[in-house]
Amino acid sequence: MNPELVTAIGLSAAALTTMSFLPQVLRTLRTRDTRAISTGMYAAFVSGVCLWLVYGLLTEDAPIILANAVTVLLSGTVFVLKLRYG
């Protein structure tokens, strides 16, 4: 298979799954309401995404690096807001 096509598929998947966090981030920033957000789930998720980012850096895999760098920022924002606003 064409390597550029494979990379394009990976980048497209990364963009879609990463941007799925944007509505939650915007809502949480706007309302400061974090009651329905699970602290344990976000702690595990942010930790896992950090490990995926390290993996992507070690393997020099652009889609994994880009997706997880942005996801760490987005999900990390929600996690910090959850810790701050309970």
Q: What integer best gives the mean pLDDT of the chain?
A: 93
> What domain range is 30 assigned to?
3-85
The CATH number of residue 27's host domain is: 1.20.1280.290
**pLDDT, position 14:** 87
Total domains in the chain come to 1
- Alpha-carbon gap, residue 64 to 13, rounded angstroms: 10
- Alpha-carbon gap, residue 85 to 19, rounded angstroms: 23
**pLDDT, position 23:** 94
Please give the model's pTM, rounded to 2 decimal places.
0.84
* 3-state class (DSSP) for residue 62: helix
Over the stretch 25-51, which tens digit does the pLDDT of each residue have?
999 999 999 999 999 999 999 999 999
Number of Cβ within a 10 Å radius of residue 14: 21
**pLDDT, position 1:** 86
**pLDDT, position 86:** 87
CB 22 within 8 A of CB 74: yes
